[in-house]
Chains A and B, each alone.
Chain A
């Protein structure tokens, strides 16, 4: 299943990225080359194999549900590219 320019456009939209035509073409080529290489996995019979989701296979690591001091607002906002009062500021979400 070769990746088309339309696929690249769709994936870019999902990934919140944009590319110009030349980059798009390069990505299509790269992705196809990588996916073609990846297709080697189809040689394997995996019907009865359990997927490995957690490398040390630990289960339900939990902690006590206690209120603790966390990062204060001032520190959390100190790196904000734009802020107002106690909030991060972003471009308008709702049209006028």
Chain B
């Protein structure tokens, strides 16, 4: 394994002093990818393109015309469009599809000379918490290869944890960045809903989906976020809230005396592993000693989060995934005598088991007679959950909790029990229901030496606050 620079500032000083070039850097990452092929991280590796671009950017660096992200090598979860490249969503149903356009975030980062090294494996259509639901096979956790890396953005987390790139773009619907970050011992940031354009992010549940970033330190994520955030006319749900100068904000230290941190008692009840519980309480204690005010708060509707989440996301998914019919792109079943049969065969052969289960659940809750009993009801509970957060944030600036109830489980352990798999999202999905930002930061290791994360949830559009708080968490 090559040791690669751990931060963008280290890369920049290397590039400035000419001790490093983009070509050298890309080659180091490529070697690390080759030597860790057994982790099954990439669905498509952009080996040639990345090197070609590295040569061009090295030229621009010499000429002094390079963009802000020159030297930043990024992997991208394969649910985000990169023009002319295969886009699979880890599903058979998108076999043979080449993206017709760039996602807005991709356009923006390429404009500033970032290099995309490849597309990472994930759960099919981002549905899953273990990265085992992939047509391209499961991904392994580098900390312990008999365990899952988490999901759905599992391979994105692994690519950063295993020095295959500096940063990775993943996506979240209910914890798909924070949970794998926790399982792999790195940091993942989920933005406020609408902070990043969803144009070019394949839709799973449109009122939840958001792109997020895995990284090793706050300033790297800050630099990337400044480039890719902001309103986009191609996504009417992207926010016109001004983009902050995250890097500048991070330069000022937090004054603990001015910050109130809440901890929700509902997040420390039964089901939480005792090592994780103790680890998070220890961190809270440290923050208290540094001068932060720690206050107990309540999020009374926490026990309804998973139910609400699965009704709404499955309903949205069943609608969003109706577009995969074998007509315009991707896989088409060959032996059909009618159009109707072609739709049914294509979808039945093209989707994996978990995706079909969610389409079925979503179709059921939206079907005649059940709409009010499930979908409408869940929309109402969603408001109560959002209100819980609004009330809590009147009292505190941040809410700290565990990211996951356990550390990484064994490959195959939960594949036959969807409900127990869904319960992995118990501390993360509330954030997506409320549309707020949250970050998972490495906070300790359990008795088996497996990492776990601490989650900080923030007010809408306070990504800067979350990044600044990251600098305060040390274990």
Q: Could you list which residues of chain A lie within 8 angstroms of chain B, going by C-beta atoms?
A: 3, 7-8, 10-12, 14-19, 27, 30-31, 33-35, 37-38, 40-41, 44, 46, 49-56, 58, 61, 63, 71, 75-76, 78-82, 88, 90-93
Q: Are the CB atoms of A93 and B339 closer together than 8 Å? A: yes
Residue of B nearest to A80 (CB): B328
Some 30 contacts from A to B, beta carbons below 8 A apart, are: A10-B367, A17-B348, A17-B359, A17-B360, A18-B344, A31-B360, A31-B361, A33-B419, A35-B364, A37-B419, A40-B304, A41-B304, A41-B307, A41-B378, A41-B381, A44-B304, A44-B380, A51-B376, A52-B379, A53-B379, A58-B237, A61-B236, A80-B327, A81-B326, A81-B327, A81-B332, A91-B336, A92-B338, A92-B339, A93-B338
CB distance from A32 to the nearest CB of B (A): 11
Interface residues of B in 335-350 (CB under 8 A from A): 336-345, 347-348
Interface residues of B in 313-367 (CB under 8 A from A): 318, 322, 325-332, 336-345, 347-348, 351, 356-357, 359-361, 363-364, 367
Question: 8 tightest A-B contacts by CB?
Answer: A51-B379, A79-B329, A81-B332, A55-B435, A52-B383, A61-B236, A49-B380, A15-B363
Task: Provide the bound-state CA to CA distance between A34 and B418, in Å.
Answer: 8
Q: Are the CB atoms of B419 and A78 closer together than 8 Å? A: no
What are the residues of chain A within 8 A of B383 when measuring CB–CB?
49-52
Q: Does B409 belong to the interface (CB within 8 Å)? A: no
Q: Are the CB atoms of B364 and A51 closer together than 8 Å? A: no
Q: Are the CB atoms of A27 and B382 closer together than 8 Å? A: no
What is the 8 Å Cβ interface bit string for chain B, positions 166-204, against chain A (1 contact, 0 not)? Answer: 000000000000000000000000000110000000000
* Of the residues B303, B328, B435, contact of A40 by C-beta under 8 Å: B303
What are the residues of chain A within 8 A of B194 when measuring CB–CB?
55-56
Task: Provide the bound-state CA to CA distance between A12 and B193, in Å.
Answer: 32
* Of the residues B304, B359, B380, B434, contact of A50 by C-beta under 8 Å: B380
Task: Provide the bound-state CA to CA distance between A12 and B364, in Å.
Answer: 9
Residue of B nearest to A72 (CB): B100
CB distance from A72 to the nearest CB of B (A): 10
Q: Are the CB atoms of B364 and A31 closer together than 8 Å? A: yes
Q: How many of chain B's residues have a CB under 8 angstroms from any CB in A? A: 68
What are the residues of chain A within 8 A of B359 when measuring CB–CB?
15, 17
Q: Are the CB atoms of A46 and B380 closer together than 8 Å? A: yes
Task: Provide the bound-state CA to CA distance between A19 and B347, in Å.
Answer: 11
Q: Does B308 belong to the interface (CB within 8 Å)? A: yes
Task: Provide the bound-state CA to CA distance between A56 and B338, in Å.
Answer: 43
Q: Are the CB atoms of A49 and B384 closer together than 8 Å? A: yes
CB distance from B326 to the nearest CB of A (A): 6
**Residue with the greatest number of chain B CB neighbours at <10 A, chosen from A11, A19, A63, A76:** A11
What is the 8 Å Cβ interface bit string for chain B, positions 98-117, against chain A (1 contact, 0 not)? Answer: 10110000000000000000
CB distance from B438 to the nearest CB of A (A): 14
* Of the residues A15, A75, A82, contact of B332 by C-beta under 8 Å: A82
CB distance from A67 to the nearest CB of B (A): 15
Task: Provide the bound-state CA to CA distance between A89 and B384, in Å.
Answer: 48
| 15 additional A-B residue pairs with CB within 8 Å, beyond A31-B364, A91-B336 | A7-B364, A16-B344, A27-B356, A27-B360, A33-B418, A37-B307, A38-B307, A41-B381, A49-B384, A55-B386, A56-B239, A56-B435, A79-B329, A81-B326, A91-B342
Residue of B nearest to A28 (CB): B360
Q: Does B96 belong to the interface (CB within 8 Å)? A: yes
Residue of B nearest to A38 (CB): B307
